[in-house]
């Protein structure tokens, strides 16, 4: 992996969240500077800020996009105890020429009496539905009954979780077999011995959300939670950021009788548990097909996790700031930064080379330190003599490929 581009976000305080839109052509950033910025990607891959405005009167924790079926709609939540919904309107033509867009506030959701810690749109098959959670322990579910009029939102449900809430995640499954479901995580430090993840399920008969499950094994504060895309499976997969990264499998149990109106019961299994961050984990998130999970922790690293075809999970890559302290085992990274600019590109690609396949199979001998290690193939007619490579390569990261020097057209002249 390599840094392809750096975007000057120009927020005047900490960035708390960055959110891609559904197609990955736009992104929104939010910050403690109380503003939200919207960025558009041009055809050449550059990002341009097309809107920046003050959204709240406190730190903006999260920003999220609604599905494009509902138009260009954003929701934000803040320390100022509110959440807000924003809609882009097509402005005057000269605005468009200047590359600017207009966002107007459609509603402010003021029901919380404490900081609103997370905001998430429900899966689109449920309509335009928005959930918030707050430090006072309440999950609120709002709905815009008329998708053409986003200024009217009604508070449909208030779920009292009895614990300060930090994060929510909707189950994305659109299968008829799965009623709407939302998982709530709590970072409550005051209550020690209770499950910090609760799962609520919508009941058609009572038209209410009822608690279906509490993950009793998760007793440490939870900071983030993420359902994986369902992939047509009967069970659900939930990733949790707590003192480590955990992946749970929730298998719905067959109801005893079909008419039973109680919530679904689940068999809960731990699929994986990683403590490589060695510390508090703050964020977890799945990629589109849930083949990769990313997590970020107190160690200042983003770690990427992947399961092979036999469901063995591995850390396949680490992203880390070059300013953060080196932690023992990954000395490889520092060697990289020492490489001069001419070699930087190839070094980067070497890292990329290594990352793709690493996680694939369970048993593998660790690479031995030393020069011959990862040199792959001498393209016979192409490589330079390798006799002196031993010491020159000794301080470099392991290389997968041998390098070759292309024959310069001028060289063979002496034999003529």
Partner 1 sequence: MEEVDVEPTTTLIPGVGLKQKHVGFEWGPGDILVYETNFKLQGAGSGGPGFPFVHVVRKDEDIYSPILRKLFNESHHIFVGLQNIKDDMPSKNKKPQFVSVSKNYRSVIRACMEELQQVAVSTQDTSLVAQYSNQVSILLAIELIWNLCEVLFIDAAPAGILLLHLLDWVRLHKADVDEKVREVLQSESPTHHHAYWEVVISFVLQGRMDEARQILMKQANLQPASRPIYQLMDSLLQKMPIFNPGSTQTLTEFDVKWRHWHEECDRYLQDNSFASNRHLETICKILVGDEDTMLEHKELLGTWYHFLVSRLLFFHPTVKPSELHYYAQSSMDMFLDSRSAPEPLDSILLAAFEFDLHQVIKDCSIALNNWWFVAHLTDLLDHCKLLQSHNLHFGSNLREFLVLEYASGLFSHHSLWQLAVDYFDHCPEFGRVYLELQIERVPLETERKALKVLRICEQRQMNEQVRSICKIMAKRALSNNRLGSALSWSIRAKDAAFATLISERFLQDYCTRGSFSDLDLIDNLGPAMLLSDRLTFLGKYREFHRLYGEMRFTEAAKLLLSLMTAKIAPRSFWMTLLTDALPLLEQKEVIFSVDQTHELMFCLEELTSDNSETKPERPAQDEDIESTKLELLRLALARNLAMAIVKEGTVEA
Q: Provide, rounded to whole angstroms, the least separation between the CB of residue 185 and partner 1.
A: 13
Q: How far is the CB of 232 from partner 1 (least distance, A)?
A: 5
Taking each helix axis from N to C end, the angle separating 341-357 and 331-338, rounded to the nearest 10 degrees, works out to 150
99 binds partner 1 (CB under 8 A): no
| Residue 174 interacting with partner 1 (CB under 8 A) | yes
Our finding on whether 175 is near partner 1 (CB under 8 A) is no
Cβ closer to partner 1: 178 or 402?
402
Contact between 268 and partner 1 (CB under 8 A)?
A: no
Note whether 413 binds partner 1 by CB under 8 A. Answer: no
- Asked if residues 244 and 299 have their Cβ atoms less than 8 Å apart, the reply is no
Between the alpha carbon of residue 15 and those of residues 25, 32, 128, the distances in Å are 20, 7, 27
Cα 277 from Cα 348, distance rounded (Å)? 24
Nearest distance, CB of residue 93 and partner 1, angstroms: 11
Q: Taking contact as CB under 8 A, which single stretch among the options 104-112, 190-198, 209-217, 372-380 is the one that binds partner 1?
A: 372-380
Task: Find the shortest distance in angstroms from Cβ 149 to partner 1.
Answer: 11
Q: Which of residues 82, 132, 173, 296 is near partner 1 by CB under 8 A?
A: 296
Question: Does residue 194 bind partner 1 (CB under 8 A)?
Answer: no
Q: Is 339 in the site for partner 1 (CB under 8 A)?
A: no
Dist. CA 389–CA 384, nearest whole Å: 10
Are 249 and 269 in contact, with CB atoms under 8 Å apart?
A: yes
Site for partner 1 (CB under 8 A): which residue of 102, 105, 178, 320?
320
CB 230 within 8 A of CB 211: no
Q: How far is the CB of 205 from partner 1 (least distance, A)?
A: 26
How would you classify the pairing of strands 73-78 and 197-203? unpaired
**What is the three-class DSSP state of 337?**
helix
- Hey, is 236 helix, strand or coil? strand
Please give the size of the binding site for partner 1, defined by CB under 8 A.
144
Query: Is 196 near partner 1 (CB under 8 A)?
Result: no
Among 40, 53, 59, 265, binds partner 1 (CB under 8 A): 59
- 200 neighbors 139 (Cβ within 8 angstroms): yes
Burial category of 119 from C-beta neighbours within 10 Å (exposed 0-12, middle 13-18, buried 19 and up): buried
C-beta atoms surrounding 340 within 10 Å = 7
CA distance 304 to 310: 18
Segment 129-158, which members bind partner 1 (CB under 8 A)?
Answer: 148
- Contact segment (CB under 8 A) with partner 1 among 103-111, 190-198, 205-213, 351-359 equals 351-359
Question: What pairs with residue 224 in β-bridges?
Answer: 241
91 belongs to the binding site for partner 1 (CB under 8 A):
no
386 binds partner 1 (CB under 8 A): no
Least distance to partner 1, CB of residue 228, Å: 11
């Amino acid at each position: 992996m390599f840094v392809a581009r750096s975007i000057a976000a120009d927020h005047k305080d900490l960035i708390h969240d960055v959110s891609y839109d559904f197609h990955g052509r736009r992104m929104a950033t939010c910050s403690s500077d109380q503003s939200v910025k919207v960025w558009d990607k041009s055809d050449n891959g550059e990002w341009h800020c097309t809107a920046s405005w003050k959204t709240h009167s406190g730190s903006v924790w999260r920003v999220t996009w609604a599905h494009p079926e509902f138009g260009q709609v954003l929701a934000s939540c803040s320390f100022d105890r509110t959440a807000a919904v924003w809609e882009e309107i097509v402005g005057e033509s000269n605005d468009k020429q200047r590359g600017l867009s207009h966002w107007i506030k459609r509603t402010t959701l003021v029901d919380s009496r404490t900081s609103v810690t997370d905001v998430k749109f429900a899966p689109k098959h449920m309509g335009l539905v928005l959930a918030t959670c707050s430090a006072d322990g309440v999950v609120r579910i709002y709905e815009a009954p008329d998708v053409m009029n986003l200024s009217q939102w009604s508070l449909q449900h208030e779920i009292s979780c009895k614990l300060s809430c930090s994060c929510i995640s909707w189950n994305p499954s659109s299968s008829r077999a799965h009623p709407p479901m939302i998982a709530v995580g709590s970072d409550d430090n005051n209550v020690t011995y209770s499950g910090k993840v609760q799962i609520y399920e919508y009941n058609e008969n009572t038209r209410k959300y009822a608690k279906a499950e509490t993950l009793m094994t998760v007793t440490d504060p939870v900071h983030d939670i993420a359902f994986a895309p369902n992939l047509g499976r009967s069970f659900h997969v939930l990733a949790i950021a707590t003192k480590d990264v955990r992946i749970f499998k929730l298998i719905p149990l067959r109801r005893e009788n079909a008419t039973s109106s109680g919530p679904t019961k689940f068999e809960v299994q731990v699929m994986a548990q990683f403590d490589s961050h060695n510390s508090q984990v703050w964020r977890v998130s799945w990629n589109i097909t849930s083949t990769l999970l990313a997590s970020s922790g107190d160690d200042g690293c983003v770690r990427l996790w992947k399961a092979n075809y036999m469901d063995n999970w591995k850390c396949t890559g680490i992203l880390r700031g070059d300013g953060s302290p080196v932690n023992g085992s990954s000395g490889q990274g520092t060697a990289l930064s020492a490489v001069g600019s001419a070699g930087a590109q190839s070094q980067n690609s070497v890292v990329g080379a290594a990352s793709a396949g690493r996680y694939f199979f369970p048993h593998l001998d660790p690479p031995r330190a030393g020069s011959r290690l990862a040199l792959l193939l001498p393209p016979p007619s192409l490589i330079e003599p390798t006799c002196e490579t031993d010491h020159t390569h000794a301080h470099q990261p392991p290389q997968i490929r041998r390098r070759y020097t292309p024959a310069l057209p001028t060289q063979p002249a002496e034999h003529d």
